């Protein structure tokens, strides 16, 4: 895609691009290449010498049970958050798409959690489910349900899933609603004339027509769960108890924090980098396909 009317020249466009390119190179390409470089280096215990070790960091990484665990955690965490937040958001969006009175107000009331920082969302849920003072935690224990996210890994995982879902519903809701509203009324009316009842109408007409939105949201949600949930996990569990809620991104941070395992942390970064690039490629293909419709 390009314009048929344009200017010529080289100096001016390069000057215009300079700020963005400079920032991108200094704070993106340089650090990213540093990460790749470091992933091939190993520091000794005292940090006095470094050695080029080829893929040893990667070998160590993939044989590390802790990394495997973080991988499984990420898988569980992201599938639950995606499933929950997408289906709940879709339900709300379908309801808000009905021409009911006050639909606009409901919309406003449902979208604002997007503006809540993940870290703050984490604190909110931590406060509700803190085993000793949380209102809902006490409710659970009064019903005889054992609950302690500080000690029980499953409880901790459940809590971060709930907080991350809560935060993501508004985003998915907004896109589903926009997707629903872009379905031509005439298509729905044709289905009504064809005798399709509301539920059938939804599953045979509306849901298939929404599939581009759903697919798009799925990719975005995976990226969200991977990266933006760092604040939620850090405030609620700090990756604990004993690594039960440590995701891939969290592990990059915790392994690199003390500077003790920079090579390993860098190798993890590179693995994540590759995963995100793959997702971007999928997304890009999808955008291309959608444009050609």
Partner 1 sequence: MVEDRRLGDLIAYIILSIGVLIVAFPVWLTFVASTWDAATIINGQLPLYPGPKLFENYYRILFVGTSGTTREPVLGMMLNSFVMAMAIAIGKIFISVLSAYAIVYYRFPFRMAAFWIIFVTLMLPVEVRIFPTFKVVSDLNMLDTYQGLAVPLIASATGTLLFRQFFMTIPDELLEASRIDGAGPFKFFKDTVVPLSITTIAALFVIQFIYGWNQYLWPLLVTTKDSMQTIVIAIKKMIVTSDALTEWQLAMATAMLAMLPPVLVVVLMQRLFVKGLVETEK
Q: Is 223 in the site for partner 1 (CB under 8 A)?
A: yes
Under a CB-based contact definition with an 8 Å cutoff, are residues 81 and 225 in contact? yes
* Tokens standing for residue 65: 């049970």
Nearer to partner 1, 157 or 267 (CB): 267
Q: Taking CB under 8 A as the rule, does residue 160 contact partner 1?
A: no
Is the separation of the CB atoms in 134 and 147 below 8 Å? no
205 binds partner 1 (CB under 8 A): no
Cβ-based neighbours of 198, under 8 Å, separated by 6 or more = none
Give the nearer residue to partner 1 in terms of CB position, either 28 or 62: 28
Measured CA to CA, the distance from residue 67 to residue 30 in angstroms comes to 26
Considering only 60, 83, 116, 158, the residue that binds partner 1 (CB under 8 A) is: 116
Q: Helix, strand, or coil here: 152? A: coil
Query: Does residue 125 touch partner 1 according to CB under 8 A?
Result: yes
CB of 249 to partner 1, least distance (A): 5
For residues 293 and 168, what is the distance between their CA atoms, to the nearest angstrom? 29
Residue 111 binds to partner 1 (criterion: CB under 8 A): yes
Site for partner 1 in 39-78 (CB under 8 A): none
Q: How far apart are CA 101 and CA 178, in angstroms?
A: 18
Applying CB under 8 A, the site for partner 1 has a residue count of 99
Q: Name the segment binding partner 1 (CB under 8 A); options: 23-31, 43-51, 74-82, 203-211.
A: 23-31
152 binds partner 1 (CB under 8 A): no
Measured distance CA(126)–CA(133) in Å, rounded? 10
Rg (CA), the chain: 24
The answer to the question of residue 3 lying near partner 1 (CB under 8 A) is yes
Residues in region 168-187 near partner 1 by CB under 8 A:
169-171, 174-175, 178
104, exposed or middle or buried, with CB in 10 Å at 0-12, 13-18, 19+? exposed
Closer to partner 1 by CB, 71 or 106: give it: 106
Which one of 75, 109, 187, 190 is in contact with partner 1 (CB under 8 A)? 109
269 makes contact with partner 1 (CB under 8 A): yes
Pick between residue 132 and residue 292 the one whose CB is nearest to partner 1. Answer: 132
Taking the complex as a whole, how short is the minimal distance between the CB of residue 6 and partner 1, in angstroms?
A: 5
CB contact burial 89-100 (16+ within 10 A = b; e otherwise): bbebbbebbeee
Supply 18's token pair: 């300079």
Nearer to partner 1, 65 or 118 (CB): 118
For residue 212, which of 285, 108, 107 has the smallest C-alpha distance?
285
In order, the DSSP letters of 220-282 are: HHHHIIIIITHHHHHHHTTT-STTTT--HHHHHHHHHHTSTTHHHHHHHHHHHHHHHHHHHHH
Q: Which residues contact 50 (CB under 8 A, 6 or more apart)?
A: 41, 42, 43, 44
Q: Which of 83, 123, 151, 158 binds partner 1 (CB under 8 A)?
A: 123
Binding to partner 1 by residue 7, rule CB under 8 A? yes
By CB under 8 A, name the one of 81, 85, 130, 161 that touches partner 1: 130
Q: Which of 71, 202, 227, 286 binds partner 1 (CB under 8 A)?
A: 227
- Does 143 bind partner 1 (CB under 8 A)? Our answer is no
38 binds partner 1 (CB under 8 A): yes
Q: Is 198 in the site for partner 1 (CB under 8 A)?
A: yes
Helix (H) or strand (E) segment spanning residue 59: helix 56-62
């Amino acid at each position: 895609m390009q314009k048929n009317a344009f200017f010529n020249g080289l100096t001016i466009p390069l000057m215009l691009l300079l700020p963005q390119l400079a920032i991108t190179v200094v704070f993106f390409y340089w650090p990213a290449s540093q990460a790749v470089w470091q992933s091939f280096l190993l520091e000794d215990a005292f940090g006095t010498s470094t050695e080029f070790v080829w893929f040893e960091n990667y070998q160590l990484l993939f044989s590390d049970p802790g990394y495997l665990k973080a991988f499984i955690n990420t898988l569980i965490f992201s599938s639950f958050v995606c499933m929950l937040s997408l289906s709940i958001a879709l339900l709300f969006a379908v309801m808000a798409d009905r021409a009911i009175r006050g639909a606009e107000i409901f919309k406003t009331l449902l979208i604002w959690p997007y503006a809540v920082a993940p870290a703050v969302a984490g604190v909110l849920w931590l406060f509700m489910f803190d085993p000793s003072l949380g209102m809902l935690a006490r409710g659970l224990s009064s019903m005889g349900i054992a609950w302690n996210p500080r000690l029980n890994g499953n409880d901790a995982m459940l809590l971060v899933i709930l907080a991350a879902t809560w935060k993501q519903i508004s985003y998915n809701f907004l896109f589903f609603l926009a997707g629903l509203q872009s379905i031509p009324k005439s298509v729905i009316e044709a289905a009504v004339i064809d005798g399709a009842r509301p539920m059938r109408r939804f599953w045979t007409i509306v849901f298939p027509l929404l599939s581009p939105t759903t697919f798009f949201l799925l990719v975005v949600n995976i990226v969200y769960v991977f990266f933006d949930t760092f604040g939620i996990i850090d405030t609620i569990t700090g990756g604990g108890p004993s690594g039960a809620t440590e995701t891939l991104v969290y592990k990059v941070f915790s392994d690199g924090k003390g500077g003790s395992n920079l090579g390993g942390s860098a190798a993890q970064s590179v693995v994540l980098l590759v995963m995100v690039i793959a997702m971007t490629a999928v997304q890009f293909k999808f955008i291309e396909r959608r444009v050609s419709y």
